[in-house]
Structure 1
Amino acid sequence: ERNIILVNATGIELSCKLDRDSLLKNPQVTWKRGNVTLSHIRKTENTWTIQMNITDSSKMGSYCCILKGEKEEMSAVFHLQVVKIEGKAKPIISYKGDTVVMSCKSVDYTPMSWTWYMINGSEQIAINDSLKADKYVISRLSPNVTHLRIHKVTKEDDGLYWCEAAFELGTSRGRQELRVLSYLVPLKPFLAIVAEVVIVVTLVFFYEIHSKKKS
C-alpha cells in the first residue's frame, strides 16, 4: 500500500509493475476504485498504468491494481489523500478560570482556510464570530499554523475540539481534548491526609482525657 498526498488539482499516473522473475506470467490486469472498474490502462513491459486528472475531492480515495494469473493473484493499493493535520495526542489539562491555547499545524502544505469546532454531545459547533468574541479568539500566526485561545475556561469548556484545514482537494482534521479541573482536585489527596491526621489526633486527645479521668 502507498499513501499519496495531494492538496491541489493535478494530473497523476499510477503504475503497477511486475518483477521480471515473478512467477505470475501474463496476468489479467484490472484497475479499480471501490467497485468501479477503470479503463484507459497503458501497458509497457511488465507495467500497467492509469492516468487521471484529479480536479476535486470526488476523485480522491483508494485505487487498486489487481494482477490475476491462473493460480496466483497480486494487488497494490494507492491511497490519494490530503495532508494529515497535527493535533495533540494527549489531553490539555487546565483549571477553571485559566486561559487555554490550542494549536494545529499543517506541515509543508498551506491550507486555504482553517475552521475550529467544539463538540457538545452529538452536536458539532463551529467556533466563529457568532460565539462569544471575548471568550474564543482564533489567530493564524503563520499560513500553516492556527491557534484557538479560550479565556476563563469553565467546566462547560471540557471536551473535544477539532481544527479543520481546507485544501483544494478536500479537508483534513486534527483532534484536541481539553480537560478542565477545579483547583480543589490536586488538593484532594492532601485534604484526605489532613482529615486522617485530624481524626487520629482527636482520638488520641479523647483517649488521654479518658485515661486521666480514670486515674
Structure 2
Amino acid sequence: MILLGPDLTTAGFNEEINLNKSKALYVEYEVLLPGESDVHVEKNIFLGSAVKIELSCRLADKHSHMKILQVTWKKGNETIKHINKTEISWGIQLTVSENRKLGSYTCTVTGEKEFSVVFHLQVPQIAGREKPVVSYKGDSAILICESRSYTPIAWTWYMTNGSEQIAINDSLMLDKYVIDKADANVTHLKILKLTEEDGGTYWCEAAFELGKSKGKLKLKILSLMVPLKPFLAIVAEVVILITLIFVFELYSKKKEKRAEDEKEFDQIEQLKSEESNGVESNSARHRKV
C-alpha cells in the first residue's frame, strides 16, 4: 500500500507514481484529503502492465467529526460504485487489464466543505530531451529516449514529413539510420551523413501491455559556416578598426605636413616682408641726406 500524507496534498500538486519493474499483481493507493475546500489534488499513476488496483481517499483525523452528506467516485462523467472502508475512507477496486480502463478517476467528498482528488491512470511517460539536439551538416547525431519505470515490449522511431509521421525501421536506408537495441529500456537512433533536410521533429514510441507512449525530440542542423560566423565577425571588426587607425594616421600626417608647409610659407613671407621693409628704410635715409 502507498499512503500519500497531508504534506503532499498541496494546491496544484502533481506527483508521478511509478509501479516498479516487479509488476505487482495488486497495489493500493490512498490519498489523505487536505481539509481545504479550495485545494485541488491530482496524482499521476503510471501503469505499464495489467494490475489489480485499489484507489481510496480519506479525510484527515481532524475532520473526522464532519458530517458527510455524499461521497461520489467517477471515471470521467460516469459514476462508479464505491466501498466504505471506514467512516472517513472510501475506495474503488479495479482490474486494469486493457487501455480503456486507464483515465481519470475522481473522488469527491461533500459535507460542510467539499474535498476532491483526481487519480490519473496512464501508461508510462517517455523521457526524451527538452532542448533540441544540435549537430552539423555532414556529421552524425544520436537521439535518445528512455523508459524509466517499465520495460517496453517494443520501440519504434518516427520522423516527421510535413504532417505525416514515417516509421524508421531496419529496412529504411540502412546507410542513413541505425537503431541501437542493446538496452530494452533505452533506444538510440543514430542519423548518419546529416543534411539540412534531416532537421526537424522525431518521435520515439514505446509499446506497453496497456498502450503506447511517445517521446518528442528535435534535431537542428547547422552549416559548417555557422561556428565561423562569430570568428569572421571579429576578424571583420579588427580589419575595420585597423583600417580606421591607418586612415586616421594618414590623415594626421597629411595634416601635420600641411601645417608645416603653411608655417614655412608664412616664415618665407615674413622674411620677404622684413627684407622689403629694410630696403625701403635705406632708400629713405639716402634721400634725407
Q: Is the alpha carbon distance of 1:206 and 1:63 closer, same or farther for their aligned partners in structure 2, counting shifts above 3 Å?
A: same
Paired amino acid for 1:105: E
Instruction: Note the C-alpha offset of 1:201.
Output: 4.2
Which aligned segments of 4 or more residues in structure 1 are displaced greater than 6 angstroms? 212-215
Within 2, Cα distance between the matches of 1:94 and 1:24? Answer: 62
Among residues 93, 106, 114, which one is paired with 1:73 in the alignment? 114
- Matched-pair contact (CA < 8 Å) for 2:68–2:109: no
How does 1:12-161 map onto structure 2 within 5 Å? Answer: 12-22=53-63, 24-39=66-81, 41-45=82-86, 46-69=88-111, 71-129=112-170, 131-161=172-202
> 1:127 Cα shift?
1.4
Q: What TM-score do you get using the length of structure 2 for normalisation?
A: 0.67
Task: Give the secondary-structure state (helix, strand or coil) at the position aligned to 1:142.
Answer: coil
- Match in the other structure for 2:283: none
Gaps of 5+ in 1: none
Answer 1 or 2: higher relative contact order, Cα 8 Å, separation at least 6.
Answer: 1
Q: How far is the alpha carbon of 1:167 from its aligned partner?
A: 0.3
CA RMSD of aligned residues (A): 2.4
Percentage identity across paired residues of the two chains: 56
Which runs of no fewer than 5 residues in structure 2 stay unpaired?
1-41, 262-289
Q: Distance in 2 between matches of 1:184 and 1:74?
A: 60
| Cα distance in structure 2, aligned partners of 1:8 and 1:42 | 25
Which one has a larger percent strand, Structure 1 or Structure 2? Answer: 1
Q: How much does 1:130 deviate? A: 5.2
Distance (whole Å) between structure 2 residues aligned to residue 207 and residue 121 of structure 1 = 59
In 2, the alpha carbon distance for the partners of 1:176 and 1:36 equals 36
CA apart distance, 1:60: 0.6
Aligned residues: 213
Aligned to 2:24: none
Deviation, structure 1 residue 120: 2.8
| Segment of structure 1 superposing worse, 149-158 or 192-201 | 192-201
Query: What TM-score does the superposition give when structure 1 sets the normalisation length?
Result: 0.88
Cα displacement string for residues 64-105 of structure 1 (whole angstroms, at most 9, x for unaligned residues): 001112x31111111111222111122211100111111111
